[in-house]
Amino acid sequence: MTKITELSQLDLNATYSYADYLTWQLEETVELIRGKIMAMSPAPNLKHQRISRNMLLSIGNYFKHKSCQVFVAPFDVKLYNSKKSKLADQDVYSVVQPDLCVICDEDKLTEQGCNGAPDWIIEVLSPGNSKKDMRLKYDLYQENGVTEYWLVYPYEQAVYQFVLDRDSEKYQLFAMHAGDDIATPSLFPELQIDLAEVFAE
């Protein structure tokens, strides 16, 4: 079997599984969305990194002595329809690396990452990945049962907070926050995130 070390060795129109993904030894970071390779943006810029770090500090302190855990990219999250039981690697066609994710079910954690939907995902948008995160990942997270999804817009200093409605199985826009608001996840109402600190330069 040919060792895959460069993205150019792969057919971007082909469909791949998580089992394929595990064999690649790429320098580039990629995600799989419904079996299709999605090359991630180059290394996040300073603003993106600061926001991710500040968000992690707020969230990490809250979960310090709790059962839920927060993880940061790079961290593989295998996604499949939430109505199905755990699937073998060759039957999983979506693996993403959210900027931050919170997982409360320890049974989902493996040596490779998370097997199934996290409870809460936060994506900090970069200029190159806005369309992917807004459309493809929104749909993917919704259908795979991610309960809460936050989209963070660095340059607008805004956060869009989506919560999954269990009856319709669709996201509802729960809140929109501006740069100096206190944002609170619906899943963890005691956690208050000061966005002035998150967006601070």
Q: In this structure, what token pair is assigned to residue 32? A: 């799989």
Q: Residues 34, 37, 43, CA angle at the centre, nearest 5°?
A: 125
Q: Is residue 1 part of a domain?
A: no
What is the per-residue pLDDT across 34-68, written as a single tens digit (0 to 9) for each?
999 988 766 668 899 999 999 999 999 999 999 99
Cβ neighbours for 12, distance < 8 A, ≥ 6 positions apart: 36, 37
> Does residue 98 share a domain with residue 57?
yes
- CATH code, domain carrying 123: 3.90.1570.10
Do residue 19 and residue 60 come from a single domain?
no
Instruction: Tell whether 102 and 125 lie within a shared domain.
Output: yes
pLDDT class of 87 with cuts at 50, 70, 90: confident
Residue among 171, 173, 97 nearest 139 (CA): 171
Report pLDDT digits (tens) over 153-185. Answer: 999 999 999 999 999 999 999 999 998 999 999
Asked whether the predicted pLDDT for residue 1 surpasses 70, the reply is: no
Shared domain check, 29 and 128: no
pLDDT value, residue 88: 80
Statement to judge: residues 105 and 26 lie in one domain: no
Half-sphere exposure of 36 (CA within 13 A, CB side): 8
What is the chain's Cα-based Rg? Answer: 17
Percent of the chain with pLDDT strictly greater than 90: 76
* The total number of residues written for the chain in this structure: 201
Question: Going by DSSP bridges, is the β-strand pair 36-39/30-33 parallel, antiparallel, or unpaired?
Answer: antiparallel
Q: What is the pTM of this model?
A: 0.93
Query: Between vectors from CA 61 to CA 60 and to CA 64, what angle results, nearest 5°?
Result: 85
**Which residues face 162 on adjacent strands?**
149, 173
Q: What is the mean pLDDT of residues 6-16?
A: 93
Q: Are residues 168 and 83 in the same domain?
A: yes
- The rounded distance, in Å, linking the Cα atoms of 43 and 27 is 12
Is position 2 within any domain? no
Domain span at 28? 7-39
Q: Is residue 97 part of a domain?
A: yes
pLDDT at 97 over 90: yes
| pLDDT greater than 80 at residue 84 | no
73 and 168 together in one domain = yes
The confidence score (pLDDT) of residue 130 equals: 60
Mean per-residue pLDDT of the chain: 91
